[in-house]
Structure 1
């Protein structure tokens, strides 16, 4: 569905050349939700602009929904963009138009007849959950409702690809989750390929099948979301994962307050989240187990979680318990006192 081969983008400025995207290779399959995560200035926005033809690559080839986006121009590019739609962080709605008229706008541009437009708009309003708000103006809508209008408008021409540029960054956590749930529903109902640009690992974890991590214009790591949680290779990936789990101050507090025995950080992936680990530890080893805190979260490909526990007992027995945990394919990190 989407293929990038050896794609680079260099901006020529008065102060010198800026390498925004550097030799990127990506393949995104039809119907998947693919995340591209990176911090500000990493090259995310440049990459998404290359995907819809707003920018041309300095080198490399870009194919989206069967179109060579890096070479086509004019009418052919406009036609291709009917199949490549986009939603934005700040909604980009027409403030003088109602919800219905905003959604109808791309159909008007495409020359769709009025009755057909009205039918399609009503379908989309129902799809995104905006019944009863058809005649409201953007100023009368919440942030989540505005983004639902943006999504409906992006779907008006039945695109094959939906590009999401920081689509939830301006929303509160609860509204973010509702929009992400909507995107998953749309993906399943329509078989739409979704590319999601973000700096929030929570967003990637919740809805993406696969993810690429971008840093300084380079894709430094990519793969299935669950596999990245299981085995992150790059330091920047680990930073994103920490952002989505326990804060650093929590680890420091655990070091300071629990000095007896050993404090362990356990990492669960997939089926390991379903094991009765604590019961087995108590049953097989002469140790006291103190549960300090924990969290299990779901991804599109399975569950992952972290659990902090304190083991109190003979040092040799504690080491045997740690070996037992590792044998059960659960990650173990001993939180040492500094």
Structure 2
């Protein structure tokens, strides 16, 4: 669906060259929600502008649905962009237009007849949950409602790709979740390919199927979200995973328990999928006569299933403790003995 090959983007300034994107290769499948995450300055915004042709790569090619966006211009590019829509962090609505008129705007530009525009607008207002608000102005809407208008407008021309540039960053957590659920619903209903740029791992965890992690213009890690959560490789990815796994909060607890309970083993246990629902700790206590002290625990839901971490102290006879650890390993549960916080 979307193929980026050997993409680099270099800007020339008075102070020299700035490499915003460097040697990026990505494949995004049709109908998936693909997340690109990174901190400020990582190159995310440049990446999304390359996808819709607002920027041309210095080297490499951008192919969207069989069309090389990086090599076309003029009318061909304008036609291609009708199938690549975008929603923004700050909504970018026309404040002098009503909800209905904002949604109709791209249809007007495309020359769609009025009767067809009105029918399409009604369908979209219902789709995004804004029934009864068609005559309201943006100043009369909440942040979440404004973003729903932005989503409806982006869908007006039946795009094949929806680009989301930090689309929830200006929203409170509850409203963020409602917008993410709407995007997930749209993805399932319409089979729309969604590319989502963010600096929040919660956003990735909640709706994305796969993710690419960017740092200093490069993709340092990519893969299925559940796999990245389970086994992050790059340091920056580990930091992002900590945002939603609660691992940072557990450090103080680990330090304290290492002091107070010098015997036994402090173990980080990672559960994936159905294992998160099994009474495995109870099984260890009964089967091996060990004491299990829970230090910290957390379960996160991803689109591919649940992911959980549990930090425990396992104490008892050395042989029994080792047998308990062996059982965890035999159940394909990732375990890590922690010697230091």
Q: TM class, shorter-chain normalised?
A: over 0.9
Partner of 1:121: 121
- Secondary structure of 2:270's counterpart equals strand
Conserved 8 A contact 1:263-1:310: yes
The answer to whether 1:328 aligns with 2:340 is no
The answer to whether 1:14 aligns with 2:17 is no
Structure 1 residue 281: deviation in Å? 0.4
Alpha-carbon distance change, 337 to 20 in structure 1, aligned in 2, over 3 angstroms: closer
Structure 1 residue 327: deviation in Å? 2.0
Structure 1 residue 247: deviation in Å? 4.6
Q: What CA distance in whole angstroms lies between the structure 1 residues aligned with 2:219 and 2:139?
A: 39
Superposed CA offset, 1:242-276 (max 9, x none):
12211524322332146323332211112322332
Q: What CA distance in whole angstroms lies between the structure 2 residues aligned with 1:32 and 1:249?
A: 32
Q: What are the equivalent positions in structure 2 for 1:1-338 lying under 5 Å apart?
A: 1-257=1-257, 259-260=260-261, 261-336=264-339
Structure 1 residue 337: deviation in Å? 5.2
Alpha-carbon distance change, 249 to 209 in structure 1, aligned in 2, over 3 angstroms: closer
Q: What CA distance in whole angstroms lies between the structure 1 residues aligned with 2:188 and 2:199?
A: 24
Conserved 8 A contact 2:244-2:300: no
Q: What is the root-mean-square deviation of aligned Cα atoms in Å?
A: 1.4
Superposed CA offset, 1:88-115 (max 9, x none):
0111111111111111111111111111
Q: Which runs of 5+ in 1 are unaligned?
A: none
Q: What CA distance in whole angstroms lies between the structure 2 residues aligned with 1:291 and 1:336?
A: 16
Q: What CA distance in whole angstroms lies between the structure 1 residues aligned with 2:340 and 2:217?
A: 38
Conserved 8 A contact 1:7-1:61: yes
Q: What CA distance in whole angstroms lies between the structure 1 residues aligned with 2:252 and 2:213?
A: 27
What TM-score, normalized to structure 1? Answer: 0.96
Conserved 8 A contact 2:272-2:306: yes
Q: Does 171-180 or 262-271 show the bigger shift?
A: 262-271
Conserved 8 A contact 2:51-2:62: yes
Structure 1 residue 313: deviation in Å? 2.0
Q: Does 143-152 or 270-279 show the bigger shift?
A: 270-279
Q: What CA distance in whole angstroms lies between the structure 2 residues aligned with 1:30 and 1:110?
A: 25
- Secondary structure of 2:112's counterpart equals coil
Q: What CA distance in whole angstroms lies between the structure 2 residues aligned with 1:131 and 1:78?
A: 31
Q: What CA distance in whole angstroms lies between the structure 2 residues aligned with 1:167 and 1:320?
A: 49
Q: What CA distance in whole angstroms lies between the structure 1 residues aligned with 2:29 and 2:80?
A: 18
Structure 1 residue 70: deviation in Å? 0.6
What TM-score, normalized to structure 2? Answer: 0.95
- Secondary structure of 2:107's counterpart equals helix
Q: Does 309-318 or 22-31 show the bigger shift?
A: 309-318
| Equivalent residues, number | 338
Q: Which runs of 5+ in 2 are unaligned?
A: none
Q: What CA distance in whole angstroms lies between the structure 1 residues aligned with 2:57 and 2:144?
A: 34
Q: What CA distance in whole angstroms lies between the structure 2 residues aligned with 1:67 and 1:159?
A: 14
Q: What CA distance in whole angstroms lies between the structure 2 residues aligned with 1:235 and 1:95?
A: 43
Superposed CA offset, 1:9-46 (max 9, x none):
00001111000111111111111111111111000000
Conserved 8 A contact 1:255-1:336: no
